[in-house]
A and B are shown apart, each in its own frame.
Chain A
Amino acid sequence: MNKEEIEKIIFNSLKQIAPDTEPSKLSPDENIRETLGIDSFDFLQFIVSLDEKLNLEIPEQDYGKITTLNSLIIYLTQKIK
């Protein structure tokens, strides 16, 4: 899976939980949750959605490593390998 495919899955999942936002307009180093106004509950739904689409469980202690689009893509790319 390449970067563009991962990005597409991220955007779809974010759009699902925050339908009024434009995730594709996020800058790479912006804090995703702050910019899109995602609360703890929505964030958990996002993690569940990534798990379903990528078959990949993100442990809670890694939440700090995936705060921006850039860091999330790097994290997922490494995990998928």
Chain B
Amino acid sequence: MIEFVMPSLGADMEDGILVEWHKKKGDAIKRGDIIADVETQKGLIEIEVFEDGVIEKLLIEPDTKVPVGTPLALINPTNKKAETIISTDAQKEASHPIAEKEITPTLNAVGVNKKIKISPLAKRVATENNINFSTLLGSGENGAITKEDVEKAIAQKQKSLANHEASGTTTEDKTKNASNSIRAAVAAAMSKSNREIPHYYLEKTIDMTKALAWMNRANKERSVKQRLLPAALLIKAVAISLREVPELNAIWDNGLQIKSDINIGFVVSLRGGGIIVPAIHAANLKTIDEIMSMLNDIIPRAKALKLRSSELSDSSITITSIGEGGADSVYGIIYPPQVAIIGFGNISEQPFAENGMLGIHPLVHVTLAADHRAIDGLTGSRFLTVLNTHLQNPESL
């Protein structure tokens, strides 16, 4: 049996409201299926499952606010699949000797006969009030759930229902609430970062002549819908550079933990203020066209606050790009527990000296903010040099 838990969609998320189940008891589910909608500070998120199986039981009623890690449902995995997962995991371990620890596991395999300690009275009160006591933390002897614990849960449930009814009376209110809560989420994550992470900053000016010429040629052969933007090239160039300097593609959790998958968080500014950072998974393995079509899909959904859980949870590094006509440089604040953020300023024509000659070239100021607990300036500098080399050879991106 597998517990499907409230996933963490970033270091700043503490809880979420289960709004709606898309599956019911007995439904067969496949990896990647949307199982529920959860309201978080980052909008209404579709939550996916990472396992094939059958829903054994739904543990949480809709409109309930629960902390990250709370079991939401029990899933009976398809046997054959479970075996496959074990063997692929073993292979993964073998082929990636670098220690990798998931900070926020979405699925926890648990014993089927997990015994819950609860007093008979507490159990009766819970049952009468439709409270799922298996999710409660007991405050009694040896962690036993007491009547008081159940009463607290009842009060919490009523409060969250009342809040839910009170909020969102109009679409305008909802948008305003979403915008306020995103502001709060950004504030929490950035304050934590600035408080805890000793940032260092590096900057390199990169000549974009060859990369833009390559892109303009490529775009002439493409329909309007397939046109590329510089952001797609920059993401790909960062991703393949990280293969050569993997120390930046990591998290800091009692030490540096290098990630094997290169999942790039791309900062999207929301029109009403605030930012959201969806992930482009395995960007190093995707073509520039694939990255562009992902951006075409993900950016409008990010702006509408309609992302999926996996798109918000597993970035291993962040890119922020100011875009055309904006500021020339951006010095980012690292999104914890990541260890680096790469900033691209506006690409603009500037005087540029090369081989003793002065010319006008499109240039971009690329910055790197990195966590000095985890990596040193030399490594950061090496990354920017490698990135420059890749951007001077756009045809091999």
Contact with B272, one of A20, A33, A47 (Cβ below 8 angstroms): A20
Chain B, Cβ-Cβ closest to A17: B300
Q: Output the least CB separation between B20 and chain A (Å).
A: 25
The CA-CA distance from A58 to B223 in the complex, in Å, is 10
Q: Output the least CB separation between B275 and chain A (Å).
A: 13
Report chain A residues within 8 Å CB of B225.
Answer: 48, 51
- From B224, B229, B272, name the one whose CB has the most chain A CB atoms within 10 angstroms: B224
Instruction: Encode A25-63 as 1/0 by CB contact (under 8 A) with B.
Output: 000000001100101110011011001000001111100
For chains A and B in complex, what number of residue pairs have CB atoms within 8 angstroms? 37
Assess the A40–B324 pair: CB atoms within 8 A: yes
Q: Output the least CB separation between B297 and chain A (Å).
A: 12
Instruction: From known contacts A48-B224, A51-B224, A57-B224, infer whether A18 and B323 are also in contact, taking CB-CB under 8 Å.
Output: no
The CA-CA distance from A34 to B323 in the complex, in Å, is 12
The CA-CA distance from A3 to B227 in the complex, in Å, is 28
Contact with A58, one of B224, B230, B295, B299 (Cβ below 8 angstroms): B224
Assess the B224–A39 pair: CB atoms within 8 A: no
Instruction: From known contacts A39-B324, A40-B323, infer whether A60 and B229 are also in contact, taking CB-CB under 8 Å.
Output: no
Report chain A residues within 8 Å CB of B324.
Answer: 39-40
Assess the B299–A20 pair: CB atoms within 8 A: no
Assess the B224–A20 pair: CB atoms within 8 A: no
The CA-CA distance from A58 to B227 in the complex, in Å, is 11
Assess the A41–B229 pair: CB atoms within 8 A: yes
- From A18, A37, A39, A61, name the one whose CB has the most chain B CB atoms within 10 angstroms: A39
Report chain B residues within 8 Å CB of A33.
Answer: 325
Interface residues of B, count at CB 8 A? 19
Contact with B231, one of A18, A40, A47 (Cβ below 8 angstroms): A40
Report chain A residues within 8 Å CB of B295.
Answer: 41
Report chain B residues within 8 Å CB of A45.
Answer: 300
Report chain A residues within 8 Å CB of B325.
Answer: 33-34
Q: Tell whether B271 is near chain A: CB-to-CB under 8 Å.
A: yes
Instruction: From known contacts A20-B272, A37-B271, A60-B216, infer whether A44 and B227 are also in contact, taking CB-CB under 8 Å.
Output: yes
Report chain A residues within 8 Å CB of B272.
Answer: 20
Report chain A residues within 8 Å CB of B219.
Answer: 60
The CA-CA distance from A5 to B72 in the complex, in Å, is 53
Assess the A60–B323 pair: CB atoms within 8 A: no
Q: Output the least CB separation between A61 and chain B (Å).
A: 8
Report chain A residues within 8 Å CB of B231.
Answer: 40-41
Q: Tell whether B181 is near chain A: CB-to-CB under 8 Å.
A: no
Q: Output the least CB separation between A21 and chain B (Å).
A: 8
Q: Tell whether B269 is near chain A: CB-to-CB under 8 Å.
A: yes
Starting from the known contacts A39-B323, A45-B300, 4 additional A-B residue pairs (CB-CB under 8 Å) come to: A18-B271, A39-B324, A40-B324, A59-B220
Q: List 8 A-B contacts (CB under 8 A).
A: A18-B271, A33-B325, A39-B269, A39-B323, A40-B323, A41-B229, A47-B227, A58-B224
